[in-house]
Structure 1
Amino acid sequence: MASRIVRVLGAGGGSPGMSIEQPLWRALIAFRLLALAYAVFRYAVAYEEYEHPAGGWAYIAVLTAWTLATLDRVASSERCTRPFLVADLSLALSGILLTSVLDSQDRIAAGQATLPTIWAAGSVLAYAIKGGWRWGAAASVLVGVCNVVERGDVTERNLHNIILLFVASAAVGYMIELARASERTLARALQIEAATRERERLARDIHDSVLQVLAMVQRRGNEIGGEAAELGRMAGEQETALRTLVTAGPAPAAPAAPAVPPGRTPVPASSARRSTGGGSTGGPSAGSGSTGGGDAGDGEQDLRALLGPLAGAKVSLSGPVAPVLLDAHAAREVAAAVGAALDNVRRHAGERASAWILVEEETDEVLVSVRDDGPGFPEGRLAAAEAEGRLGVAQSIRGRLRDLGGSAEFFSVPGQGAEVEMRVPRRARGGRPGTGHGGPRGRTPDGRGATR
C-alpha cells in the first residue's frame, strides 16, 4: 500500500507534458490521506464517549477503505468523474449526519467534531478542482447544511467553519479556472510560434530559389517584349501569389481561366471581373452557372475555387487546404458578396489599398471575412448610406447572406481599416448541406480572423 501511495503521488496519473493543475491533484491526494489519519486518530481517542461506538468504527472502516481504494481517482481531472464525486461527497455527508445518531447530544451541543472531521473538506476541494469555483461553492453549501442539521442549530463555531470552507473552495475553484485558461492560452501561443518559425523557414528557402527565378523571368520578359512579356507578366503574378502564401499562410490555387495556360495562379480582381462577366459586385454573378473547376459534385461547389480569381497583388486569400463545399447557389452568392465587399474597398479605400480574404470552416457554418487597410468609416455610416438610398451593402452583401439564412457583420475603426464577417450555414435555405472538411478555425493571434 505504501508503494502504491508513493507511485500515485509521484506520477499523479496526469497526461504527459506540462500541466498547471496537476500539482493541485497531488496536493489533494496528500490532504485526503492526512485528513483520514486525523479522523481515525480522533475517533480512536474518543470512541468510548460515543453512545454507539460500534457504528462509529464501522463508518471509520468504510471511510478508510474508500479513501485508500480511490487514490488514483483523485490523481487527475480525467479520472475524477462526476459519479465518483457524487459518491465521495455522499460518504462525507452521511458521516456528518450519522454523527447525530451515534454521538450523545451533550457532546454535539459542546461542539465536538463530526465523524469525518476535515475529511469532508477534501470532497469539496475535489469538486472545486474538477469543476471550478461554482462546483466547489455548491458542494461546500451542502456540507454546511448537513453540519447545521447535525448540530440542530446555527452556532458561531459551525458558521465560522462553513464560511471558511465556502471561501476556500471558491478560491481554489477560481484559481484552477484561471490556470486552465492560462494553459490554453500558452498552448495556442506555442502553436502560433511553431507555425511562424516554420513559415519563416519556408520563406527563406523559397526566397533563395523560386522567388528569385520568377523575378528574373519577369524582368527579362519585360526587357525582351512580345510573347516573352506575357510570360514575364505571368511570372510576376506567380511571384505575388507565392509571396502571399509564405507570408500570410496557405491559400488555395485559383482555377485557370479558359484562355490562360495551365499552372496560372490567381489573377487580379479586375481581371476576374472581366473573365466571369460579373457586374459591380466584382465576383461571380448570382445567376451564373458553375465556375470552371468549382464543382465538387451535383449541387455543390468549392467556395475556394470561386474566390480564387478575386485574389491578386492587392488581395490576399487564405483558407483551409481541403475543399470548402457549399450548395452551388450558396457558394456563388457568397462569392458575389465577397466581390461586392472588394468593390467597396476599391471605391472607398482607393486602388492602392490592400485587402485580405479569409475562409474558415465551423461545425455548422462557413465564415468568410474581408479586411482592408483603408481609412475605415465612422459608426453609423452604413445606416446613413442605406437611408440615402445606397443599397450596395444592404442588398449586395447583407441581402445575399440573409437570403441564405446567414448574416453579415461590419466592423471598423476610423484610420484602421474595415472588416466584414459573412456567415452562411452549411444548409442554406433551399439548398443541401455541405460536407465538412475543415478542422478548428484558423483565427489569427489578434482574434479578428485575418492578418494585416
Structure 2
Amino acid sequence: MGIQTQLRRANTVFRFVALGYPVLFGALAFDALARPLWAALLVAVLLGWTWLATEWYRRRGYEAAALYADLGVTVAAVAASAWALDAGGEVPISVGPWMAGAVLAWAAAWGRRSGAIAGAVVSVAGMLFRGGVHSSTVNETVLLVLTGFAAGHLVRLGVAAEQRMREAAERSAAARERERLARDIHDSVLQVLALVQRRGSEIGGEAAELGRLAGRQEEALRALVRSASYRRPLDGQRDLRELLGRHEGPEVTVAAPATPVLLPAETARQFAAAVASAVDNVREHCPEATRVWLLVEDEGDAVQVSVRDDGPGFAPGRLEEAAAEGRLGVAQSIRGRIRELGGAVGIVSAPGAGTEVEMRVPRTAGGGAGGDARRGR
C-alpha cells in the first residue's frame, strides 16, 4: 500500500467528515435560509457524489476523467452553495473544507503543480459566485492553493522514497541470491576447474593445454560472478566498475574501489568506450600473451583510469606518425572521447617497456583541463 493509496483513503474519510461543515452551519441558520429544501438537497447531492467519487478512485485509481469530473462537481457545488445556502447575509454559507477533497485528489495524482492549480480553480469559483474578493474568499484561496501545493510535494517525495525502497529491496534480494550462487559455484565448478588446471600442469603434454584452458575458464567465471555483484545506481548514474568489469578475463585484470564509482550515465558510457578502445589496441597490436591491467581511481571530483600492458611498447612520435597516416584510433576513440568529457589523456610508452594510457575525467562536465594529462604530454 503506497502513499497515494494511503492519501486516497485519508481523503475519503476527510471528505465525509467535511460534509459536516455545511450541515452544521446550515442547521444553525436554517430559519434564515432562503431555500432550506434546496440546501438539504445540495447536501444530499454532495454526499452522493462523495461516495461515487471515492468508489471511482478506489476501483480505477486516479483516472483523468474522474479527476476532471471531481473538480467540475466541486466548482458546481461552490456555485450552487451561493444560491442554496443563502441566509440573507453578505456572504452565503460555504461548503467549507469539503472543497479541498478534489484539490487533494489532484495533488495525489499529479503532484504539487496540479494540486495548486486545482486549488486556484476552486478559489476562483468561490470569488465569482460568493461575492467577489473579500476576507472569506481570500482565506479560502490561500488555504486551498497551499494545501494542493504542499500535499502534492509530499506525495512526490513519498513516491520517490517508495521507489528507492523498492529498488533497494530488489538489489538486496538479488545480492543475496548472487552470493548464494557464488558460494555454490565456488564449492563446485571453480574447485573442479582449479583441480583440472593443477593436475594438467603436473601431467604435462596435452593435459597441460587442457589445464591451461580450464584455468582461463576459471578466471572468466570468477570475473562473471564479480561483475554480477555490481549494483545499478539511481538517478541516471552508472557504476563505472560495472562497465569496465566486463573486460576482466585471463589476460585483463581490473582493480577498482570496493564502493561504486558513480558517473552520469552518458559520461560513464563514453569513458568506458574510451577504455575499451585502449584495451582493443593492445589486443590488435600486441602479442597474444600480453597482459593488461586496468586501475580505476575515484578522486572525488574526478575519476581516473589507467590502462597498462606489458607489450612491446612503441617509440616516441609513433602516435603522431599514425595520425599523419590517417590512423586515428587513439586520436578519436580515446583522446577525442575524453576531451569531449572535459578530461585529459596521457600516454607513456617505450620500446620493450609496455604502454600506459592514463585517462582522467571530471565529475562535472567541462570541469577538467583538455588536452593531455600531466604525464606524457
Instruction: Pick the TM interval, shorter chain.
Output: 0.5 to 0.7
Cα 1:245–1:89 shift into 2, 3 Å: same
Partner of 2:69: 87
User: 1:96 pairs with 68, 78, 89, which one?
Assistant: 78
Cα 1:112–1:52 shift into 2, 3 Å: closer
**Shift of residue 210 of structure 1?**
1.4
Partner of 1:392: 329
Partner of 2:93: 113
**Shift of residue 192 of structure 1?**
0.8
| SS of residue matched to 1:153 | coil
Percentage identity across aligned positions? 40
User: 1:154 pairs with 111, 129, 133, which one?
Assistant: 133
Partner of 1:352: 293
Supply the distance in 1 between the matched residues of 2:359 and 2:278 (Cα, whole angstroms).
Answer: 17
Cα 1:310–1:194 shift into 2, 3 Å: closer
Partner of 1:326: none
Cα 1:212–1:313 shift into 2, 3 Å: same
State the TM-score, normalized to the length of structure 1: 0.55
Cα 1:417–1:374 shift into 2, 3 Å: farther
1:39 aligns with 2:18: no
**Shift of residue 412 of structure 1?**
6.2
1:212 aligns with 2:191: yes
Partner of 1:329: none
1:374 aligns with 2:315: no
Letter in 2 for 1:43: G
Supply the distance in 1 between the matched residues of 2:180 and 2:304 (Cα, whole angstroms).
Answer: 27
Partner of 2:265: none
**Shift of residue 130 of structure 1?**
1.5
| Structure 1 residues 230-263: Cα deviation after superposition (integer angstroms, max 9, x where no partner) | 111100111011112222129xxxxxxxxxxxxx
1:63 aligns with 2:46: yes
Cα 1:28–1:310 shift into 2, 3 Å: closer
Supply the distance in 1 between the matched residues of 2:122 and 2:179 (Cα, whole angstroms).
Answer: 57
Stretches of 4+ aligned residues off by more than 4 angstroms: 103-106, 314-317, 336-339, 344-347, 393-399, 408-419
Supply the distance in 2 between the matched residues of 1:23 and 1:220 (Cα, whole angstroms).
Answer: 64
Letter in 1 for 2:27: A
Contact kept in structure 1, 2:275 and 2:334, CA below 8 Å: yes
Cα 1:207–1:86 shift into 2, 3 Å: same
Supply the distance in 1 between the matched residues of 2:293 and 2:274 (Cα, whole angstroms).
Answer: 21
Letter in 1 for 2:306: G
| SS of residue matched to 1:352 | strand
Supply the distance in 2 between the matched residues of 1:398 and 1:93 (Cα, whole angstroms).
Answer: 63
1:29 aligns with 2:29: no
Letter in 2 for 1:113: I
Contact kept in structure 1, 2:82 and 2:92, CA below 8 Å: no
**Shift of residue 24 of structure 1?**
1.8
Letter in 2 for 1:86: Y
Partner of 1:190: 169
Partner of 2:370: none
| SS of residue matched to 1:214 | helix
1:312 aligns with 2:249: yes
Cα 1:86–1:310 shift into 2, 3 Å: closer
| Structure 1 residues 101-140: Cα deviation after superposition (integer angstroms, max 9, x where no partner) | 3455952x2x4432x2221111111111111111110100
**Shift of residue 155 of structure 1?**
1.5
**Shift of residue 416 of structure 1?**
8.8
Supply the distance in 2 between the matched residues of 1:228 and 1:418 (Cα, whole angstroms).
Answer: 46
Cα 1:199–1:316 shift into 2, 3 Å: farther
Letter in 2 for 1:141: A
Cα 1:227–1:183 shift into 2, 3 Å: same
Partner of 1:163: 142
Contact kept in structure 2, 1:52 and 1:102, CA below 8 Å: yes
Contact kept in structure 2, 1:345 and 1:353, CA below 8 Å: no
Partner of 1:126: 105
| Structure 1 residues 287-345: Cα deviation after superposition (integer angstroms, max 9, x where no partner) | xxxxxxxxxxxxxxxxxxxxxx976335599xxxxxxxxxxxxxxxxxx9986352368
**Shift of residue 63 of structure 1?**
1.1
Runs of at least 5 residues in structure 2 that lack an aligned partner in the other structure:
230-245, 255-272, 286-290, 297-302, 309-319, 346-357, 363-377
Partner of 1:296: none
Q: CA RMSD in A?
A: 4.2
Cα 1:99–1:372 shift into 2, 3 Å: same
| SS of residue matched to 1:353 | strand
| Structure 1 residues 178-231: Cα deviation after superposition (integer angstroms, max 9, x where no partner) | 111011111111111111111111111111121111112112222332212211
- Name the structure with the higher helix share: 2
